[in-house]
């Protein structure tokens, strides 16, 4: 990959945003970035944008306990998590705290208040009481 001098980095979060960015986009000096898998896989936008959705997905997996029900082994993975001793579960949960905080602060938003923090506080209250 050749090095280029970047003048503008456009974060694209919607098709409308993509269309707006293209008005001033210079393919020799600018980069379009998205963490939205729908935009990254769109037949038109995928040729223009740098997809960081895999990074966000990996960060999510590092921040939370993830059981993907689309996988064949999802039931055994869930059982393994649920069968952990409470102390081990809490230790693993606490080990994920920094990544979880980063993920929540950077990727989960609510218009009026931070619903993600309310949910995490509820989970913590349930686990520690």
% of the chain beyond a pLDDT of 70: 78
Helix (H) or strand (E) holding 32: strand 30-34
pLDDT of the residue at 127: 59
Determine the average pLDDT of the residues in 13-25.
78
- Indicate the pTM of the whole model: 0.55
Domain boundaries, the chain: 8-51, 64-128
Q: What is the pLDDT of residues 86-107, one digit of tens each?
A: 999 999 999 999 998 888 777 7
CA distance 47 to 90: 43
Has residue 3 got a pLDDT over 80?
no
Question: Side by side, which strands form the sheet with 49-51?
Answer: 8-11, 30-34, 49-51
């Amino acid at each position: 990959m050749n090095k280029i001098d970047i003048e503008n980095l456009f974060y694209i979060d919607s098709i409308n945003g993509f269309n707006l960015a293209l008005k001033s986009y210079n393919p020799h000096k600018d980069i379009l970035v998205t963490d939205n898998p729908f935009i990254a896989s769109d037949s038109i936008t995928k040729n223009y944008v740098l997809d960081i959705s895999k990074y966000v997905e990996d960060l999510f997996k590092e921040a939370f306990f993830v059981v993907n029900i689309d996988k064949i082994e999802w039931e055994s993975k869930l059982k393994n998590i649920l069968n952990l001793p409470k102390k081990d579960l809490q230790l693993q949960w606490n080990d994920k705290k920094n990544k979880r905080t980063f993920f929540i602060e950077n990727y989960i938003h609510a218009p009026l208040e931070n619903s993600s923090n309310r949910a995490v506080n509820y989970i913590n209250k349930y686990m520690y009481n």
